[in-house]
Amino acid sequence: MTNLRDVFKNHKAFIPFVTAGDPSAAATVANVVALAEAGADIVELGVPFSDPIADGPVIQAAGLRAFAGGITVNGVFDIVAEIRKQTQVPLVFLTYANIPFKYGYDAFCAWCAALGVSGLVIPDLPAEEAPEILPFTAKHGLDLIPLVSPTSGPRLAKLVATATGFVYIVSALGVTGTRTSFAQNLADLIGQLRTVTDAPLCVGFGIHTPEQAQAMAQVADGVIVGSAIVEQAAAAGKDAPQVIGAYTREMVAAIRAAAK
């Protein structure tokens, strides 16, 4: 499908998240480029949505800042076009289902492909509804990245049946946000997933320290970090690229160490 699988061939991946348009288009471009230059393997770009059911307060606040700055779906595509002038780091969108539905699945996926967006993470898309968009992701060569949680249980095989790029494992119940504890059955969950899919397995939701990232990388193929990046960028203002770049280098080093 895309180049996402290649990312995981020789090492564990670090996947940071930023919200598109927070606090501006130019700032988003600068932040994504900084993440890429600091060693991020894939960058997850959040498409702001009015009712983000999986987002905690930090990422919700980022979405509100982006809306205040006038972000639109076309504006997100414009941001990606600017990013592509400076880096070819693999990108995936985190978007809620209503956005590509309202935009038009074919047009949305076509723009993703044209601009080098490799895949879509859609938290509110049930597996039963995935066949609605799958023909269009397949047509345009995009990966539809499923989410599974510690309570997915007997649905695991169904949830990952169409996984291509990677599987997004939610580390704990609830919404996004930094945490000090995670689901106790993560290792077992990852073991179960490896019996039903050969897609790389990445863990997200709540991870924010190098120690946590290293621990997750011991059992998973990649680590996803969102709220910690968004919070640091918001606090740093114009210095955000330097701050999140330094943080990314720490996280990458921790993850690489886990793979040795």
With a CB cutoff of 8 Å and minimum separation 6, the contacts of 1 are: 119, 138, 141, 142, 143, 164, 165
The pTM of the full predicted model, rounded to 2 decimals, is 0.93
Backbone φ and ψ for 203, nearest 5 degrees, come out as -110, 135
Q: Identify the active-site residue in 22, 37, 51, 55.
A: 55
Hey, where are the domains in the chain? Answer: 12-258
Q: Give the ranges where 116-226 is alpha helix by DSSP (H).
A: 134-139, 156-159, 186-194, 210-219
Mark whether 55 is an active-site residue. Answer: yes
CATH code for 12-258?
3.20.20.70
User: In angstroms, how far is CA 63 from the centroid of its own chain?
Assistant: 15
pLDDT at site 152: 86
> 259 falls in which pLDDT band (50, 70, 90)?
low
CA–CA dist 201, 193 (Å, integer): 8
The answer on pLDDT for 109 being more than 90 is: yes
User: In angstroms, how far is CA 175 from the centroid of its own chain?
Assistant: 14
Q: Identify the active-site residue in 41, 44, 143, 231.
A: 44
The answer on pLDDT for 178 being more than 80 is: no
pLDDT tens column, 88-98: 999 999 999 99
pLDDT at site 174: 45
Determine which of 47-51, 114-118, 179-183 has the lowest per-residue pLDDT on average.
179-183
